[in-house]
Amino acid sequence: MVDAVPYFDLKRQFANLRDEILPALERVCETCAFAGGPEVKAFEDAFASYCGTTHAIGVSSGTSALHVALRCADVGPGDEVITTPYTFISTTWAISYCGATPVFVDVDPTTRNLDPTKLEVAITERTKVVLPVHLYGLPADIDAITAIAAPRGVTVIEDAAQAQGAAIGGTRAGGLGRMACFSFYPGKNLGAYGEGGAITTNDPEWAARAARLRDHGQTERYYHDELAFNYRMDGFQGAVLAIKLAHLDAWNRRRAEIAARYTDAFASTSLGLPTVPDGFETAWHLYVVESDERDRFREHLQARGVPTALHYPVCLHEQKPYQHLGYSRGDFPNAEHLAGRVVSLPFFPEMTDEEVAHVIDAVRGF
Ligand SMILES: Cc1ncc(COP(=O)(O)O)c(C=O)c1O
């Protein structure tokens, strides 16, 4: 029996990978390929093949991936980019960095992702991109979104930061939109040992531009084609990510196993539970329930050694940097409802069966 469970524990993963990781880090030190280089290239090739895309471009974070992708779509001042108000704020940072305006569309209360039925009315002559987020690992309904966006000349770019390994009808996240953006923040399903991100696409021109934009706009050293960034992935991250990519499917299977146990055990409770529509495969990045009595529920769990987290307590239209957009409370009722009810439970592949059982007992005890 255990009497406490960590919310998350990366040390266990390192203990399992130590003998693979340390020699790879040593190799980077010995070759001194610290910024970009062969380890990054090898990871990019492996990640493109994993996502089923022709190109993957390693970058310094998920945020920089989004910024570069929007620049590939020529998003700039005066343009609008449609996204969900219920995501991590990086999604809209990237829009703002381009000088464009985020336009929000409410989420579907069951998938918690951008609701395609509310998309059409939000599209204007200024809309350049729709940027749906695969929240908690579940792909947004890209087919329905594309059916509305494409005839209106609006490009679909995926925020796949939380969705490494997710798929719709067998097509992996990364290959669902014109371009996709991943984060390898350490806590992600595929996490770096520091910051990291990637862009995937099947479009050779966009891929070439993304590769230039992350590297000062250079095609040739010291010849700069356009205003660009230093968003390169570093060699250590390429080496670590290539090793970890080989384990991703097994980790995701273990996540799915734990999720299935949670869902079975909580079916008879009053909690709102994650749902996965037919034909969709979630990466199970987080396991998020909804409670009408969130504070009391969290206190109950904490007292039983079960820490929890909130992803996310405040919608983006209610965050301080976005007050100028002029939205107010009530504009996105489904997102606001979620923000007041969600609770993320302990959930990571190295959790033991005993720990899973302990979480279940604590939740059911409420
Ligand atoms: C949905 C979403 N988009 C973008 C990002 C940004 O990624 P990063 O932290 O690597 O910049 C994150 C990271 O948490 C995310 O969850």
- Of the candidates 193, 212, 242, which is a domain's last residue? 242
If asked whether residues 228 and 297 sit together in one domain, one would say no
Q: Which residue has the tokens 């796949």?
A: 160
pLDDT at site 164: 98
Q: What is the pLDDT along the chain (366 residues), one digit of tens a residue?
A: 899 999 999 999 999 999 999 999 999 999 999 999 999 999 999 999 999 999 999 999 999 999 999 999 999 999 999 999 999 999 999 999 999 999 999 999 999 999 999 999 999 999 999 999 999 999 999 999 999 999 999 999 999 999 999 999 999 999 999 999 999 999 999 999 999 999 999 999 999 999 999 999 998 999 999 999 999 999 999 999 999 999 999 999 999 999 999 999 999 999 999 999 999 999 999 999 999 999 999 999 999 999 999 999 999 999 999 999 999 999 999 999 999 999 999 999 999 999 999 999 999 999
If asked whether residues 23 and 152 sit together in one domain, one would say yes
Number of separate domains in the chain: 2
If asked whether residues 46 and 195 sit together in one domain, one would say yes
Say if CB 108 and CB 77 are below 8 A apart. Answer: no
Q: Is the CB of 91 under 6 A from ligand 1?
A: yes
Q: What is the DSSP letter of 318?
A: G
Q: 101-114 pLDDT, tens per residue?
A: 999 999 999 999 99
If asked whether residues 34 and 140 sit together in one domain, one would say yes
Retrieve residue 133's tokens. 């987020």
Q: Which domain holds residue 58?
A: 10-106+114-242
Distance 85 CA to ligand 1 centre (A): 14
Q: Whose CA is nearest to atom 14 of ligand 1?
A: 88
Position 4 in a domain: no
Position 18 in a domain: yes
Distance 285 CA to ligand 1 centre (A): 12
Distance 134 CA to ligand 1 centre (A): 11
> What SS3 state is found at 244?
helix
Q: Is the CB of 87 under 6 A from ligand 1?
A: yes
Ligand 1, from 8, 59, 63, 312: best to mutate by most atoms within 8 Å of Cβ?
63
Distance 138 CA to ligand 1 centre (A): 15
Position 148 in a domain: yes
CA 350 distance to own-chain centroid: 20
Position 340 in a domain: yes
pLDDT at site 291: 98
If asked whether residues 124 and 17 sit together in one domain, one would say yes
Q: Is the CB of 164 under 6 A from ligand 1?
A: no
Q: What is the CATH number of the domain that holds 168?
A: 3.40.640.10
Dist CA 233 CA 40 (whole Å)? 7
Dist CA 354 CA 366 (whole Å)? 19
Ligand 1, from 162, 233, 342: best to mutate by most atoms within 8 Å of Cβ?
162
What are the C-alpha distances in Å from 357 to residues 136, 146, 353? 22, 41, 6
pLDDT at site 1: 82
- Of the candidates 242, 264, 297, which is a domain's last residue? 242
Distance 94 CA to ligand 1 centre (A): 11
Distance 89 CA to ligand 1 centre (A): 8
If asked whether residues 212 and 270 sit together in one domain, one would say no
Q: Is the CB of 177 under 6 A from ligand 1?
A: no
Q: Is the CB of 161 under 6 A from ligand 1?
A: yes
pLDDT at site 361: 98
If asked whether residues 72 and 209 sit together in one domain, one would say yes
Q: 338-355 pLDDT, tens per residue?
A: 999 999 999 999 999 999
Position 172 in a domain: yes
Say if CB 201 and CB 210 are below 8 A apart. Answer: yes
Distance 144 CA to ligand 1 centre (A): 24
